[in-house]
């Protein structure tokens, strides 16, 4: 009989999102990779749990590449079914953070960058690609004034308008559309706001309670993101109508994971 979880994926997960799902056969878990929700930091932990030292986890882009070498993406699931491993019993992990904080983090990282010349060529090219996608939506009457701000960056209000108009990119896609929490029976929810506490709980459930790296547990929060200090600065640029549309865009993410709508508005 076909594995029930595989059948669920086939029926409900859009093809362009299948590779957001990873299996780690050695550790024994499956997770939905959510950009801008501490998944890169979780990748660092997995790499160290696989026995590699910290020198393998210092560069973010390297972590992404190495993670694909120690895990299996959904597109390769079927060739492992012969192992007769019951995916339904495997722990399934979903990563979340406040939707408003995550959207701004994605904007600052992938669209708005004051030091464009200092980032890698790959990141520069991706940033240029997103700029072209947003400008192609024709949301601005005068692109040189209302769309672009200093250093040829897309303004935050235009970015929000582009999301509402249909900009499709995994860095900004709501959790409920990317990770299908109403269809996939997740066993653990890892919040960025309580990252260390939640990860320690997950590791104990996996029988890895002996793992102890003080550098990872600096605080109860995920230590690698400073977005929150910019929230009021950027969200104050939005009109009341834009805020309402943004709330509608992330409505299920707020409701399902108990995040307050007005926390940053």
pLDDT tens digits, one per residue of 108-117: 888 886 654 4
136-161 pLDDT, tens digit per residue, is 777 765 554 456 555 557 789 988 99
Q: 37 and 121, same structural domain? A: no
Instruction: Report the C-alpha gap between 103 and 230 in whole angstroms.
Output: 12
Domain range spanning residue 49? 4-96+187-216
φ, ψ of residue 190 to 5 degrees: the values are -105, 110
Q: 112 and 12, same structural domain? A: no
Q: 92 and 105, same structural domain? A: no
Listed in sequence order, the residues at least 6 apart from 78 whose beta carbon sits closer than 8 Å to its beta carbon are: 6
Instruction: Report the C-alpha gap between 191 and 56 in whole angstroms.
Output: 25
Residues 29-46 as b or e (16 or more Cβ within 10 Å = b): bbbbbbbbbbbbbbbbbb
Instruction: Report the C-alpha gap between 158 and 38 in whole angstroms.
Output: 26
196-225 pLDDT, tens digit per residue, is 889 989 998 998 865 555 545 444 444 445
Asked whether residue 178 is assigned to any structural domain, the reply reads no
Q: Of all residues in the chain, what percent carry a pLDDT higher than 90?
A: 25
Asked whether residue 121 is assigned to any structural domain, the reply reads yes
Among the residue ranges 176-185, 235-244, 249-258, the one predicted with the least confidence is: 176-185
* DSSP state letters, 187-240: SEEEEGGGHHHHHHHHHHHTT-TT---GGG-SSSS-TT--GGGGHHHHHTTS-H
Q: 200 and 89, same structural domain? A: yes
Q: 107 and 200, same structural domain? A: no
Q: 139 and 15, same structural domain? A: no
- Would the pTM count as exceeding 0.85? no
Asked whether residue 221 is assigned to any structural domain, the reply reads no
The pLDDT of residue 9 is 61
Q: 146 and 25, same structural domain? A: no
Q: 245 and 145, same structural domain? A: yes
Q: Indicate the number of domains in the chain.
A: 2
Asked whether residue 262 is assigned to any structural domain, the reply reads no
Among the residue ranges 8-12, 72-76, 151-155, 162-166, the one predicted with the least confidence is: 8-12
Instruction: Report the C-alpha gap between 148 and 199 in whole angstroms.
Output: 40
Tokens linked to 206: 């996996």
Q: 132 and 32, same structural domain? A: no
Q: 140 and 11, same structural domain? A: no
Q: Which of 4-13, 80-89, 179-188, 218-227 has the highest mean pLDDT?
A: 179-188
Asked whether residue 180 is assigned to any structural domain, the reply reads no
- Residue 95: strand, helix, or coil: strand
**Angle of helix 60-70 versus helix 39-49 axis, rounded to 10:** 60
């Amino acid at each position: 009989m076909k594995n029930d979880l595989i059948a669920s994926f086939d029926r409900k997960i859009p093809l362009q999102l299948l590779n957001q799902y990873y299996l780690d056969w050695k550790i024994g878990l499956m997770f939905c990779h959510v950009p801008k929700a501490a998944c890169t930091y979780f990748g660092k932990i997995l790499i160290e749990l696989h026995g590699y030292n910290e020198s393998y986890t210092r560069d973010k882009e390297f972590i992404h590449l190495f993670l694909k070498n120690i895990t299996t993406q959904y597109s390769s699931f079927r060739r492992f079914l012969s192992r007769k491993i019951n995916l339904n019993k495997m722990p399934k992990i979903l990563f979340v953070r406040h939707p408003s904080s995550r959207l701004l983090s994605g904007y600052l990282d992938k669209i708005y960058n004051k030091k464009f010349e200092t980032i890698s060529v790959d990141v520069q090219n991706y940033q240029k690609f997103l700029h072209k996608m947003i400008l192609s939506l024709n949301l601005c009457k005068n692109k040189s004034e209302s769309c672009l701000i200093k250093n040829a960056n897309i303004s935050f209000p235009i970015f929000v308008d582009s999301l509402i108009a249909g900009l499709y990119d995994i860095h900004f896609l709501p959790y409920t559309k990317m990770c299908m929490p109403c269809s996939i029976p997740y066993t653990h929810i890892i919040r960025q706001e309580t990252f260390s506490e939640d990860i320690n709980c997950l590791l104990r459930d996996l029988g890895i309670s002996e793992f102890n790296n003080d550098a990872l547990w600096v605080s109860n929060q995920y230590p690698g993101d400073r977005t929150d200090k910019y929230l009021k600065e950027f969200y104050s640029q939005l009109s009341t109508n834009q805020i309402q549309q943004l709330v509608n865009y992330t409505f299920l993410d707020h409701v399902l994971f108990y995040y307050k709508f007005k926390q940053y508005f």
